[in-house]
Amino acid sequence: MRAGHLVAGLSCSALQKLCTRWGLRSRISPGENNLVEVHDLHQEFQLNLFYPQPHRKGFFWEIHCVAFLDLTQDKANALMSEVNGKAHLMKAFATSELDDLTQRVRLSFGINLAGGVTLEHVRCQIVEFLELLRRLRRQIGTT
């Protein structure tokens, strides 16, 4: 594979355009230089760009696919145990209690671009995140 087929970083505008090309509704979050809001037919999620490249303004080394679920405490605890007990790239974190009965859980899945990856790899990782998210939502009953 030639180096020209690899990307070692992405800008927010490039990521947003790729999402559109891949059939996802997306927009750059107003006032943010590193956040793309994305929707497919059933899921809302974010693509956060992290670790700015020092020599390429506006380009980042890493993408985090992020979704938030508001769950009862017992479902939140079960989800975090399920996700964090498995050996895959998704991790779950309790972010805040919305009220006495509801916990917000952040699901995050990292895609590292350092060293170079293909755009097909990035697309496949985003699809894998969506498939994991759908499976988890069905499993805990929040389809």
Task: Please check the confidence at residue 22 and state whether its pLDDT lies above 80.
Answer: yes
Q: pLDDT at position 19, please?
A: 96
Task: Please check the confidence at residue 143 and state whether its pLDDT lies above 80.
Answer: no
Domain ranges of the chain: 3-67+107-140
Mean pLDDT of 100-114: 91
Task: Please check the confidence at residue 38 and state whether its pLDDT lies above 80.
Answer: yes
Nearest to 115, CA basis, from 33, 57, 51: 51
Which tokens go with 35?
């956040």
Task: Please check the confidence at residue 114 and state whether its pLDDT lies above 50.
Answer: yes
Mean pLDDT of 16-45: 91
Q: Which residue has the tokens 């989800």?
A: 79
Query: What pTM, to 2 d.p., does this model score?
Result: 0.88
Confidence label for 69 from pLDDT (cuts 50, 70 and 90):
very high
Confidence label for 1 from pLDDT (cuts 50, 70 and 90):
very low
Angle, to 10 degrees, between the axis of helix 12-21 and the axis of helix 119-140?
Answer: 70
Task: Please check the confidence at residue 4 and state whether its pLDDT lies above 60.
Answer: no
Task: Please check the confidence at residue 62 and state whether its pLDDT lies above 90.
Answer: yes
Burial class (CB in 10 A: 0-12, 13-18, 19+), 98: exposed
Query: Distance between CA atoms of 11 and 42, rounded to whole angstroms?
Result: 26
Counted residue by residue, the chain has a size of: 143
Angle, to 10 degrees, between the axis of helix 119-140 and the axis of helix 73-84?
Answer: 140
